[in-house]
Amino acid sequence: MRPIHTFTIIPTLPPKIERLRDLAYNLWWGWHMEAIDLFRRLDRDLWETTGHNPVLMLGTVVQEKLERAAQDEAFLAHMDRVLAEFDRYMQSQTTWYQKQHSFSAGLTIAYFSAEFGLTDCIPNYSGGLGVLAGDHLKSASDLGLPLVGVGLLYQQGYFHQYLSTDGWQQEEYPKNDFYTMPIQLERRQDGAPVTIEVDYPGHKVRAQVWRVQVGRVPLFVLDTNLEANPPQYRDITDKLYGGGIETRIRQEILMGIGGIRALEALGIQPAVCHVNEGHSAFLALERIRLLMEEHSLSFTAAKEVVTASNVFTTHTPVPAGIDLFPPHLMDKYFGGYYRSLGLSREDFLALGRINTLDSNESFSMAVLALRLSAYVNGVSKLHGGVARRMWQAIWPGVPEDEIPITPVTNGIHPPSWISHDMAALFDRYLGPGWREDPADPEVWLRADDIPGEELWRTHERRRGRLIAFARRKLRAQLEKRGAPPSEIEQAKGALDPNALTIGFGRRFATYKRATLVFRDPERLARILNDPERPVQIIFAGKAHPMDQPGKEMIKQIVGLARQEEFRQRIVFIEDYDMNAARYMLQGVDLWLNTPRRFREASGTSGMKAAANGAINMSIPDGWWDEAYQPELGWAIGRGEVYEDHDYQDELESNAIYDLLEKEVVPLFYDRGPGGLAHGWIAKMKAAMKAICPYFNTNRMVRDYAERFYMPAARRSIRLAEDGMARAKALAEWEANLRQNWPELRVVSIDTDSPPETKVGNQLQIRALIHLGALEPDDVTVELYHGLVDTRGEISPAEVTVMHCAEIKEDGSCVFSGVIPFRSSGRYGYTLRLLPHNEDLNSPYKPGLILWAGS
């Protein structure tokens, strides 16, 4: 029987501890152990059974315990300390942003993501993308950045994983009760929920707005599970990455278009929008539409303003990972929308196509984001190169290394991931700087001051806790599967708290090759079962519900773990989540990562492991490609890539065995006085000193702010001044440029180039350029020069800008430039023309380039 009316009951807190409610509804507690300990102190068992959810715990703890806590002087003193720190944090006027960018008062940055991994009790994430987004918000809060998050609130979230008796992954989708989570409905002054409407075929769909407070940063998430909506649209926010292609386009319309409307309903006008992966790229269209409506702008003029203030982060290293919508589906959902932009159907669809003339090409969310963002980045140095190759066709004629996609390497939020034990050690020897300014290398150099014995004993405690956690999980898993009592009993002795422990925790996609270490089971068994130097491996991770090969990998590992030679040495932990991840990352000795090279855009789990003292052993891919040094860990191979995957797997599995046998195991078990592994401890410290100060989200978010957010804000503000005068002028200029670009040609190039010259000399070059109706200031003429490689290509290239030296009577112009010769070898040059306008973010954005001889 459905209720005729619903209401929310909140816990009755004694006045002395009333402010626990304020604390519970701000996820600041999630990265402050004193606050977590405060809630745990109320009822340790309840803290665990509620999934570390202070709101649910306060609502279910017996009233007598609350009354006792209100009279407990020790508890009250603990609470006062936590609240004093919380208030100091929330009210600080000396954040990094306030000190560095005080001129930007009133500016807001909106960060859009399909998922946010913030804490255990808000399961609104599936994996690394969401956890990165959560860490981004936390560091934005720490830095005082005026940022808001925008996303969706999923009724069932991502699935919970359990395994059948034969090890096959099963999925279950328990419903989230938002009213017992640390999230709250946004309400208008009259108390009614804030809602927005989005047009879908035949219906207006309503969504309500919830707030998750992340320190100083609010995250607004949309929910369509309202009785006013038709059933098929109530399910838009049902599951994360669930359903088919039509569910996906509905979600992405809500996230992008609905997200902008939600901010508008809340009175927030973002100066900059950050599109974290392409899921929310429709936001650019809604921003354009609003500008056109409010300021009577043309599509082109509004597009200039919006593009100038959009940032796009691409995470996907392969085309198969991009959301594509066929033309008929775009017609169904945007048939009326493109007319509101003043565009024809083909012009609208061209915004999401690589080949704008191909009427059959599907609409790509990544291409839409690329075309409508002034700043585009990959998530590691290696991935930046992969992304430039992947999207080169968007910028025809532009050399690969000049494609306007730059890297901003990912990081982690250290206070969220470093164990309580290790944090206490850092507080003692590194000081508060590791929390307050983790990007300061000087802070981490103090790791050398940590006594080796204290570091090792701290790490051993964490390993012991991991083993205890793994045994509990294994026992519960076996009981749930209906395993025989003998097998359940054996789980008590699984793993050895003193053995070298390897962790592998990540999504089970085939390219991550979770089973690579099993390629030679006999050799692996010998390594694991060495009586003097035992080794063990803990696996965890989910396969996407539709990924059958990924599920097969899990089944294979579970099957091997049941074999006698692996039974006590290999464990698979079900339902990998943030809680399980912390146990693993904080307790393993070695973190293993085995992706196919160029397929791991970045990865962050290894960074978290290193911050907790674990050593990385990985394929040189993603972040490890730029971080690796021999003193920090181990690289599997040297980055070679072979077309024959079987051959590649054979080489790299043997490399893993060789490293374990010859380097990893001997170093771990080489013990000095007191049982200390001095060589291993030295590697732990070296990794902390090198990895922690760079691979953190404090540095990452500052990079985004200084390289993208602030320049984008300044440029969009400039374009919007005086009634959008500069935006209108830029649109007119670009229209004129496109109309007259075909008239451009290089008439002649004059030089006194000899067949040979010497290092230190220089070459004067003059080029006669026919400009047609364009002015000399409308173009940049560049000499593109450098050594010529064995393929006959200029590589690496250097660019020298030429200057207009003489304007002819017919309007053509002589441009002059000089090439200096700095090294010997075969040298070459050519000449190119690019658009030029001081309000143009990148000369490549118009997609126009003219090379000499073309």
Q: Which residues of the chain have pLDDT under 50?
A: 1-2, 4
**pLDDT attached to residue 68:** 95
Nearest 10 degrees: Cα torsion 104, 108, 114, 116? 80
Hey, CA dihedral for 728, 729, 730, 733, is it positive or negative? Answer: positive
Exposed (0-12), middle (13-18) or buried (19+): which is 86, by Cβ within 10 Å?
A: buried
**pLDDT attached to residue 390:** 96
Query: 325 in helix, strand or coil?
Result: strand
The CA-atom distances, in angstroms, between 168 and each of 212, 425, 542, 547, 821 are: 35, 41, 11, 12, 64
**pLDDT attached to residue 4:** 47
**pLDDT attached to residue 754:** 75
Instruction: Encode pLDDT of 483-538 as tens digits.
Output: 888 888 888 889 999 999 999 999 999 999 999 999 999 999 999 999 999 999 99
**pLDDT attached to residue 830:** 94
Main-chain phi, psi angles of 266, to 5 degrees: -90, 0
The CA-atom distances, in angstroms, between 9 and each of 3, 492, 718, 814, 838 are: 15, 42, 49, 79, 58
Q: With b meaning 16 or more CB within 10 Å and e meaning fewer, what string describes 792-807?
A: eebeebeeeebebeee
3-state secondary structure 12-37: CCCHHHCCHHHHHCEHHHHHCHHHHH
H or E segment at 817?
strand 813-820
Cβ of 410: how many Cβ atoms within 10 Å? 26
Query: Whole-prediction pTM value?
Result: 0.96
H or E segment at 399?
none
Hey, CA dihedral for 643, 649, 654, 657, is it positive or negative? Answer: positive
**pLDDT attached to residue 9:** 57
> What's the token pair of residue 584?
């693993």
User: What is the C-alpha to C-alpha distance for residues 36 and 145, in angstroms, rounded to an integer?
Assistant: 25
